[in-house]
Amino acid sequence: MKRLIAARSFACFFLVVCLLSVSSCCHAATTPSLTARQQARVTPAVRAVNTVAPAVVNITSTLVERRSARDVTPFDFFFNIPGRPGRDFRSESIGSGIIIDGKRSLVLTNAHVVNGASDISVRLLDGRTYSADVVGAEPDFDIAVLRLKGAKNLPSVSMGDSTDLMPGETVIAIGNPYGFSHTVTTGVISALDRTIEAEDGVFTDLIQTDAAINPGNSGGPLLNVLGELVGINTAIYDKAQGIGFAIPISKARRVVDEILDQGHVSTPWLALIGQNVDPRTARYLRMPVAEGLLVTEVFRDGPAEKAGIRPGDVIMELAGNTVTDRDKFLSLLRNHQPHAPVTVKLWRDGSEKTLSLKTADFDDVTAEKLALRRWGMSVKDGRHGAVVTQVKENSPAGQLGLQKGDAIAAVSGRAVALRKDFLDAFRRDFLKGQILLQVLRGNRLYQVRMVL
C-alpha cells in the first residue's frame, strides 16, 4: 500500500496554493441574522455549519524535546558509558478538535495532534483561547480527550450515529488546514469499513470520504447534513486527491467513555502467543505464501482455546483483514475492544478454516505475569519511571544486564512514567522479537535493544 500520512499540522506555507481552496465559515457562523436573499440560499450544509462551527476549535501543540540518550550497545551499558549531553528542540504543530461536552469543557481530537506536547493552546471561533490538559489519549485508536482550563458555557456538537452511514451521503468537514481557521469542505461518504496502514500502525473500520482534508484538519469533525458528529478526521492518502479517512464516532465514543471512566482503554487479546511464518515453515505447512501468525502457545480457558485454536495453526486473517506477520496481527487486534466478537481465518492441515470467538481483557494481572515470563522483569511505580523490582536469570532482561533499581523510562519510543505505562507497553509489544528500551541508572540515561 502506498504511504498514508496523518492530516496533521504544518505551519502556514504554500499560501498561494492554499488560498485558492480555502473557504471560511467564520462570517456565516457569527452573522446574527440573514437577509431574505441569503435565506433563500440556505442549504442543509449551511445550517449544519452555522450550528456546529462555534464548537470547532483550533489546537496548537508545543513540543519541547531534550535529546540526551543515544543508541548504545550492551557493551556500553555494562560499562556504564553515559549518553552525550543533549539540546532542547522546540516545535509547534497545529490541528483541530470539536467540543463534545460544553459543561465539562471536553474536546475530542486525534492523539497524534497532542502526542508529546508540553503545552496545548485551544482557540474557539469567537476568539477565546484556553490552555488545555490531556485527560487521556489512546494512540492505537488515534483518539485524545482534552479539558480546557477555566472555560465555561462552551458550545458543543450533537452526537450522531455512524452505524447507519450510507455511501454517497453528503458530509461536511471543518478544520484548521495549514492554519486557515475554520475551513469548511463538503463531499460524500466514499466507502465504509476501510483499513489503512499508517506510520503509527493499522487502523480499521474507517470512513472514507472525498471531502477535502489537509494537514491541520486532524481531529476536526466530520458532520452529516443534520449537523451531527459522525466522524473524526484523521488521515489523508498523500498519493491521491479526494481520499481522506475519519474515525467513526460510534467507535470513538466507546474509546472516550473508557478514557473518562477509567483513564485508559482496555486492551483485547485472544490468549495466545505466536511468531512469524518463515519460508521454510510455509513450505512444510504447504502454505501458498509465507505470511501469517504461527500459533505456538494457547492459554487455558482463553478465547483461542475455547474457539478450538491450537498450536501449529496459522492465523491468516483477523476480522476479514490479512495478517502478514505478528506486528500486523497486534495492530489489527488493538482496533477491537475486550469481549467483542471477531472472526479468525486459519491455515490448518493444508486448508483454510474460519472460527468465531470473542476477545478477552488483557488485564494488568495477566500482563504482569506474562511480562515476568517473556521479558524477565517486574516493575513498580518510581520517581523517574517504572522501577525494576525483579530480574529473572537467563531471561532477555537478565542477559541484557538490567538490575533491580533501574528505571524503565521508555519502551519502543513511548514514555513510561508509571507501572501501568510499562504494562501497556508490554501488551502492545509482547509478541515482538526485540524492543528498544530507555533505561535510567543513577543519573545516566541509556538506550538499549533487548532481544526477546
Domains and CATH numbers, the chain: 1-72+79-262 (2.40.10.120), 268-361 (2.30.42.10), 364-451 (2.30.42.10)
Spell out a b/e string for 97-127, using b for 16 or more CB atoms within 10 Å of the CB, else e.
Answer: bbbbbbeebbbbbbbbbbbebeebbbbbbee
Mean pLDDT of 183-200: 88
142 tagged catalytic? yes
Q: What is the pLDDT of residues 386-431, one digit of tens each?
A: 999 999 999 999 999 999 999 999 998 888 989 999 999 999 899 9
Calculate the average pLDDT of the chain: 86
Please give the average per-residue pLDDT across 111-134, as a whole number.
Answer: 92
- pLDDT classification of 242: cutoffs 50, 70, 90: confident
Q: How far apart are CA 31 and CA 39, in angstroms?
A: 12
Residue with more model confidence, 51 or 29: 51
Which of 47-56, 98-107, 197-206, 318-327 bottoms out in mean pLDDT, i.e. has the lowest?
197-206
Q: Return the minimum-mean-pLDDT range out of 96-100, 150-154, 199-203, 411-415.
A: 199-203
Q: What is the dihedral of CA 274, 278, 283, 284, to 10 degrees?
A: -40
| Catalytic option among 9, 61, 112, 429 | 112
Percent of the chain at pLDDT > 70 equals 87
Q: How far apart are CA 117 and CA 338, in angstroms?
A: 29
| Confidence (pLDDT) at 23 | 36
Question: Of 142, 421, 424, 429, which one is the catalytic site residue?
Answer: 142
Instruction: Tell me, yes or no, if 112 is annotated catalytic.
Output: yes
- End-to-end Cα distance, the chain: 29
Question: In whole angstroms, what is the distance from residue 447 CA to residue 435 CA?
Answer: 11
pLDDT at 67: 53
| Active-site position among 105, 156, 218, 331 | 218
From the list 258, 214, 255, 251, the residue with the least C-alpha distance to 233 is 214
Q: CB count, 10 Å around CB of 228? A: 18
Q: How far apart are CA 398 and CA 309, in angstroms?
A: 32
